[in-house]
A and B are shown apart, each in its own frame.
Chain A
Amino acid sequence: MGEEEKLKSKTDQQPPDIDTAAERWQSEFDTQLSEKRIVRNRSGIELKALYTPSDGSDKHYQQKLGFPGQEPMTRGIYPTMHRGRTWSQRQLIGLGTPENFNQRVKKILDAGASALSLIPCNSVYRGYDCDQVEPELLGTCGTVLNTVEDMDVCLRDIPFDRVSVALNDPLPFTMLSQLLVVADQRNIPWSKITGTSNQSDYISHFAANHMFFRLSLPGSRRVQLDTIEFCAEHVPKWNPLSIVGQHMQQSGATPAEAMGLTLSTALQFARDCQARGMDPIKFLTRFTFFFDISISFFEEIAKFRAGRRIWARLVKEHFGIADERIMRFKFHAQTSGCDLTRQQPLNNIARVTAQAMAGIFGGLQSLHTDGYDEVLSTPDEAAAKVAIATQNILKHEAHLCDVIDPLGGSYYVESLTDEMETEILNVIQKIDDQGGMYNAVESGYVQTMIGDSALSFQEQIESGEQIVVGVNAYQEQEDASTRPVLKRPDIEIMQDHVSQLRKLKSERSQAAVERSTRELREVAQSSKGNLFAAEIDASRAGLTQGEIIAVLREELGFGQPLVVA
């Protein structure tokens, strides 16, 4: 009985007050952890070992968090978030000819997908037709697609007035021009077409100094604005601008830098649109964002939550908009290929899972999960299936979508969100000091920032400070024969496709081609008239994407990286 009483009296006692308990914990922690080390995340923020109510922001709940779909948008941009519609599962598919694409996309749509995503061959990215490049490279990374006829084959039997279309179509947006011509041919009104021009943000191409520079920096600026203006009027449900933080993070920017640079880019576009006299309410609703999700789990979650909060505020403060719908920070995210390893490739499934979870907890609207073989080759079909299954498992089996912003209120996540916000705002300030993103990219300031971060992260891996399983720790002897064997497009089919293009070029109306080339050139030279409208006419007249881009390159300048080393 004595023992029992003692226990009882102990449970009756009030717990010690929070300060006393915190002090006791700190002293125990310090004595028991002999090795003191400073832990930082990729953005350089120092992390405590424990976060408590003193770090949280309960007092300012409405200012800092609020409710989903309400300012300041920290917890999500829609009232229902993933309880309602979860997210679009986007898998990039490409490879081979338009015919190959059409067969594969139909299978995917039959399996229940509601959106399609078209990624062209690297030759298309560079602005060349398939008869202009080394045949070995054709169709190895995406679909070879040069003409309205090719687009028609890609979309055969696909009701693209009912299916959202994502085109990986950097400016001058020749693929979109082809799509609109195909719509006319099928009597689909442009007002019914929904979708996004992915990777359309030219600033990110120059900033990250990679991918495709099709036109000079000033030339790009004009085409981008012409297209935004054209779509606002004629293709109102199309998102002509996807602002791409992914390129910058892939090139080595830290998560905070990538978010800061992306928001600065968005501000630049918005200011440029405004300078043209466009209505912010019209163009801002059509801005979408595209981010990388690294494996730095909590940092990514905080990045997205902070970014959402900052964007809502920027929209309000810079453009005086009170409508919460315009403040929505809609984003697509892709798990980062940079974190995947060639060593022990199946481990990449675990990495992609962690990345995808960070993106989901970050409140994304659309998700692409990488195939585990991404670092071995262009992904094969089996790996792509695992990648999609990963999303479904997280959704249905792990129940990640049952609760909105499930990490909201975590002392750590809220504190980190605040700190990431500060870091991101620092980056935005630096870019403002440079006169905005356009100038900061033109001078090479941004490229240098990204390059320095890339090098410093690589140093961490070299030094072993950042452990990468199978690379600088837990290595194993590996049998290369277990690695997947990749498929390459059939050379003969590809050669057929090239001959078809040649045939098409010789059989089309040369008079129409000449007239249209001249008109396109005149619009480009005059700096008046809408270049995108002229492109649609050119596509309709039978010009290939390579020909359209060649004319624009002659008139507006060829794009080259602006920073040398």
Chain B
Amino acid sequence: MTELSTGLTSLLAGESTALARAITAVDNEHPVARDILGAIQAYLGKALVVGFTGPPGAGKSTLVNRFITEMRARSKSVGVVAVDPSSPITGGALLGDRIRMSEHTLDSGVFIRSLASRGHLGGLSISAARIVDIMDAAGREIVILETVGTGQSEVEMAEIADVRVVVLAPGLGDDVQAIKAGILEIADILVVNKSDMPLAKQTVRQLKGMLALRAPVERQVPIIETSALDGKGIPDLSEAVFDQGTNHASTKKLKSADRYRRLLAQTTARLAETLVHQQAHTHLKTVLEELKNADINLDTAACRALKILNENLLND
């Protein structure tokens, strides 16, 4: 326990090495992670968590790089969690997002951590939410979450981030069509990056059209044009982020409850999955047999399996 408290003290004091090791513990589901997560609960909620998502090629990392510069100019300490996909086959991953942020490497006010999604379907690492919490507990004032812009990651990011920035680029028009359903719903801010490209105005118009089609909502979603290459529009983006951040302060608690419910559901599902694979209980075999013969449907089988596993767990 003394070891843990030393590590925790350093973590809460914002010491980088402790932060790095706490993140690893959580990412690897090391036993010590439970203690860390338990102990930091009291220190959460101070950071403004900003999520960046969008299709590949939209220039997310370059934009995040500029955003970091802007936050540093405002003397905010920054933590970045950059998620890249793991190969579903080998489990390996090439983590290269931070290359675009290399000018901040030596700044002690910026802590960047690359995460592999580790086979998690949503595109976010399953531990991303917890890692954001650890950065929060370590006193990072702005925590940036950059996600793989595909699949379900937007929805997950939406639950974690206080402000959700969706990054698009001109010429990705077809993608805008394809992703509008999921991505526009969650956006607090829409960014059209690479605004110096010829099709930028057209993309902005398209997006405005799509927003107008939506049922009227209480909040306004600003569309900001940026050029991550020369930094155009970045101050506007920062203002918008802080504006939205204040708007969302009130709903933060509510969102947090939702998030934990979802985390619990995910973890339960994973636990059940492991147990179904491991258990050789005769009752479970019967269920499997009946399922195979189509005597029962999948829902019924799942309910019965949960019951069996539950009894088994209690016996252990």
Binding site for B on A (CB under 8 A): 560, 564-565
Tell me the chain B residues, 52-99 only, with Cβ under 8 Å from chain A.
94, 96, 99
Cβ of A402 to closest chain B Cβ, rounded Å: 53
Cβ of B69 to closest chain A Cβ, rounded Å: 14
Cβ of A339 to closest chain B Cβ, rounded Å: 28
User: B230 — nearest CB in chain A belongs to which residue?
Assistant: A557
Cβ of A127 to closest chain B Cβ, rounded Å: 17
B interface residue count range (under 10 / 10 to 19 / 20 to 34 / 35 or more): under 10
Query: Could you show 6 A-B contacts with beta carbons less than 8 Å apart?
Result: A560-B102, A564-B96, A564-B99, A564-B100, A565-B94, A565-B96
Binding site for A on B (CB under 8 A): 94, 96, 99-100, 102
Provide the residues of chain B in CB contact with A565, threshold 8 Å.
94, 96
Q: How far is the CA of A560 from the CA of B100 in the complex (A)?
A: 9
Q: How far is the CA of A560 from the CA of B94 in the complex (A)?
A: 19
Cβ of B172 to closest chain A Cβ, rounded Å: 13
Cβ of A554 to closest chain B Cβ, rounded Å: 13
Provide the residues of chain B in CB contact with A564, threshold 8 Å.
96, 99-100
Provide the residues of chain A in CB contact with B94, threshold 8 Å.
565
Cβ of B168 to closest chain A Cβ, rounded Å: 17
Q: How far is the CA of A565 from the CA of B94 in the complex (A)?
A: 7
User: B102 — nearest CB in chain A belongs to which residue?
Assistant: A560
Provide the residues of chain A in CB contact with B100, threshold 8 Å.
564
Q: How far is the CA of A530 from the CA of B100 in the complex (A)?
A: 31
Q: How far is the CA of A564 from the CA of B96 in the complex (A)?
A: 6
Cβ of A111 to closest chain B Cβ, rounded Å: 47
User: A557 — nearest CB in chain B belongs to which residue?
Assistant: B229
User: B94 — nearest CB in chain A belongs to which residue?
Assistant: A565
Q: How far is the CA of A229 from the CA of B78 in the complex (A)?
A: 46
Q: How far is the CA of A564 from the CA of B100 in the complex (A)?
A: 9
What is the predominant secondary structure among interface residues of chain A facing chain B? loop
Q: Give the number of residue pairs across the A-B interface with Cβ within 8 Å.
A: 6
Cβ of B114 to closest chain A Cβ, rounded Å: 12
Q: 6 shortest A-B CB distances, which residue pairs?
A: A564-B96, A565-B96, A565-B94, A564-B99, A564-B100, A560-B102
Provide the residues of chain A in CB contact with B102, threshold 8 Å.
560
Provide the residues of chain B in CB contact with A560, threshold 8 Å.
102
Provide the residues of chain A in CB contact with B99, threshold 8 Å.
564
Cβ of A58 to closest chain B Cβ, rounded Å: 50
Q: How far is the CA of A565 from the CA of B95 in the complex (A)?
A: 9
Cβ of B167 to closest chain A Cβ, rounded Å: 17
User: B103 — nearest CB in chain A belongs to which residue?
Assistant: A558
Q: How far is the CA of A474 from the CA of B102 in the complex (A)?
A: 45
Q: How far is the CA of A355 from the CA of B99 in the complex (A)?
A: 38
Q: How far is the CA of A417 from the CA of B94 in the complex (A)?
A: 39
User: A561 — nearest CB in chain B belongs to which residue?
Assistant: B99
User: A443 — nearest CB in chain B belongs to which residue?
Assistant: B57
Cβ of B116 to closest chain A Cβ, rounded Å: 13
Q: How far is the CA of A560 from the CA of B98 in the complex (A)?
A: 13
Q: How far is the CA of A153 from the CA of B54 in the complex (A)?
A: 56
Cβ of B100 to closest chain A Cβ, rounded Å: 8
Cβ of B104 to closest chain A Cβ, rounded Å: 14
Cβ of A126 to closest chain B Cβ, rounded Å: 15
Q: How far is the CA of A565 from the CA of B84 in the complex (A)?
A: 12
User: A564 — nearest CB in chain B belongs to which residue?
Assistant: B96
Q: How far is the CA of A241 from the CA of B96 in the complex (A)?
A: 33
Q: How far is the CA of A24 from the CA of B100 in the complex (A)?
A: 64
Provide the residues of chain A in CB contact with B96, threshold 8 Å.
564-565
User: B100 — nearest CB in chain A belongs to which residue?
Assistant: A564
Cβ of B85 to closest chain A Cβ, rounded Å: 13
Cβ of A421 to closest chain B Cβ, rounded Å: 34
Q: How far is the CA of A564 from the CA of B98 in the complex (A)?
A: 10
User: B57 — nearest CB in chain A belongs to which residue?
Assistant: A443
User: A558 — nearest CB in chain B belongs to which residue?
Assistant: B103
Q: How far is the CA of A564 from the CA of B94 in the complex (A)?
A: 10
Q: How far is the CA of A514 from the CA of B312 in the complex (A)?
A: 81
User: A216 — nearest CB in chain B belongs to which residue?
Assistant: B229
Q: How far is the CA of A288 from the CA of B94 in the complex (A)?
A: 38
Q: How far is the CA of A565 from the CA of B102 in the complex (A)?
A: 15
User: A218 — nearest CB in chain B belongs to which residue?
Assistant: B229
Q: How far is the CA of A38 from the CA of B274 in the complex (A)?
A: 48
Q: How far is the CA of A560 from the CA of B99 in the complex (A)?
A: 10
Q: How far is the CA of A260 from the CA of B262 in the complex (A)?
A: 54
Q: How far is the CA of A565 from the CA of B92 in the complex (A)?
A: 14
Q: How far is the CA of A565 from the CA of B100 in the complex (A)?
A: 12
User: B61 — nearest CB in chain A belongs to which residue?
Assistant: A564
Cβ of A527 to closest chain B Cβ, rounded Å: 14
Cβ of B92 to closest chain A Cβ, rounded Å: 12
Cβ of B177 to closest chain A Cβ, rounded Å: 22
Cβ of A116 to closest chain B Cβ, rounded Å: 38
Q: How far is the CA of A565 from the CA of B96 in the complex (A)?
A: 7
Cβ of A240 to closest chain B Cβ, rounded Å: 28
Q: How far is the CA of A327 from the CA of B102 in the complex (A)?
A: 44
Cβ of B66 to closest chain A Cβ, rounded Å: 14
User: B96 — nearest CB in chain A belongs to which residue?
Assistant: A564
Q: How far is the CA of A399 from the CA of B102 in the complex (A)?
A: 55
Most buried by A among B99, B100, B102: B99
Cβ of B266 to closest chain A Cβ, rounded Å: 30
Q: How far is the CA of A284 from the CA of B100 in the complex (A)?
A: 37
Q: How far is the CA of A565 from the CA of B99 in the complex (A)?
A: 10
Cβ of A260 to closest chain B Cβ, rounded Å: 25
Q: How far is the CA of A565 from the CA of B97 in the complex (A)?
A: 10
Q: How far is the CA of A560 from the CA of B65 in the complex (A)?
A: 14
Cβ of A238 to closest chain B Cβ, rounded Å: 33
Q: How far is the CA of A560 from the CA of B101 in the complex (A)?
A: 12
Q: How far is the CA of A560 from the CA of B102 in the complex (A)?
A: 10
Cβ of A216 to closest chain B Cβ, rounded Å: 9
Q: How far is the CA of A289 from the CA of B253 in the complex (A)?
A: 65
Cβ of A222 to closest chain B Cβ, rounded Å: 15
Q: How far is the CA of A565 from the CA of B93 in the complex (A)?
A: 11
Q: How far is the CA of A318 from the CA of B225 in the complex (A)?
A: 39
Cβ of A440 to closest chain B Cβ, rounded Å: 15
Cβ of A210 to closest chain B Cβ, rounded Å: 15
Q: How far is the CA of A564 from the CA of B99 in the complex (A)?
A: 7
Cβ of A488 to closest chain B Cβ, rounded Å: 30
Q: How far is the CA of A423 from the CA of B200 in the complex (A)?
A: 37
Q: How far is the CA of A19 from the CA of B171 in the complex (A)?
A: 57
Q: How far is the CA of A564 from the CA of B97 in the complex (A)?
A: 8
Q: How far is the CA of A565 from the CA of B85 in the complex (A)?
A: 13
Q: How far is the CA of A419 from the CA of B70 in the complex (A)?
A: 54
